[in-house]
Amino acid sequence: MRIGVIGGGSVGLLFAYYFSFRHQVTVITRRKEQAEAIRRNGIRLLTDGEEHIAKTEAEVKPDAGYDLLFVAVKEHQLGAVLPDVERAAPRNVMFLQNGMGHIPVLERRDAGSDIYVGSVEHGAVREDDCTVRHTGKGAVKWAAFKTASPPDQLEKELASVHTAFPFIWREDWHDMLAGKLIVNACVNPMTALLRVENGKLIEQPAYLSFMRLVFEEASRILAIEDRQASWENVLSVCRQTKRNTSSMLADVLAGRKTEADAIMGYLLKRAEESGERAPHLAFLYDSIKALEKE
């Protein structure tokens, strides 16, 4: 397939690297310098003490004619790239944003592309313009959001991208994103505020009790049916990523804008619409926004 990847961050580089083995990949970056560097050096992947390089194309604007275009920018950067996505008019487009802040935006789109959403469960850190460290091997879950044709052909292609880069099909995009959003809402702001690794949230009883209060609000807002399973998933993610620095903590420490709007902001908007109270999410939202300004 002809693959486009919009975004030269950790997720964009990771996707471009793994697709390059069996597909023709172009990375679309915001900065000209990064596109040049990728064209010159390829994408370097660091994993398990090894170093691999994959050659890919790179541009600052997407072409027309992609079979599949990944949109791998943060939710708050989506507005800046959507016109390019429209112009490129790919056959299939998959949005990889965290949270659910992008959903209202996608609902308003009416382009010709089949639209999918994906949930990236890999750990990855960008080290420089061409280098990404694959710190945690997981999977990409994906689901149809607004499609005209069945995903059979795409499913077949995605099943064989690379053994270290599995794709898992999900029937219901809402359940898929909501499950991830709950985890993000529980783990990200608390770790960023307290400046702790993910595991601390379950090791310290007082943090665990507090996280449960956050979970109650988030799961009520999203009308999660199987709350027990969802809570156990939160605990399991904390255990499996116990030595990890959450992306929100990393953003706070690096002085970058966080995904607070896509995560807590989205939930608070939903809560407001239905007149629900969510004091813990509001507290975490305001305190992370204050940290961003520091």
- The binding site for a copy of itself (CB under 8 A) comprises 193-196, 204-207, 209-210, 212-213, 277, 279-280, 282-283, 285-287, 290, 294
Residue 192 CB-density burial (10 A; 0-12 exposed, 13-18 middle, 19+ buried) = buried
* Nearest distance from C-beta of residue 231 to a copy of itself, angstroms: 15
> Catalytic residue at 32?
no
Spell out the long-range contacts of 279-286 with Cβ–Cβ below 8 A and sequence spacing 24 or more. Answer: 279/217, 280/210, 280/213, 280/214, 280/217, 281/185, 281/214, 281/217, 281/218, 281/221, 284/189, 284/190, 284/193, 284/214, 285/189, 285/260
* Beta carbon nearer to a copy of itself, 109 or 270: 270
* Beta carbon nearer to a copy of itself, 105 or 196: 196
Q: Which residues contact 38 (CB under 8 A, 6 or more apart)?
A: 8, 27, 29, 56, 58, 129, 130
* Beta carbon nearer to a copy of itself, 209 or 274: 209
* Nearest distance from C-beta of residue 252 to a copy of itself, angstroms: 13
* Beta carbon nearer to a copy of itself, 49 or 205: 205
* Beta carbon nearer to a copy of itself, 157 or 259: 259
Options 32, 141, 146, 180, the catalytic residue: 180
* Beta carbon nearer to a copy of itself, 147 or 287: 287
* Nearest distance from C-beta of residue 19 to a copy of itself, angstroms: 42
Write out the two tokens for 155.
């499913």
* Nearest distance from C-beta of residue 268 to a copy of itself, angstroms: 9
Write out the two tokens for 281.
């999410």
* Nearest distance from C-beta of residue 96 to a copy of itself, angstroms: 29
* Nearest distance from C-beta of residue 1 to a copy of itself, angstroms: 46
Residues forming the active site: 180
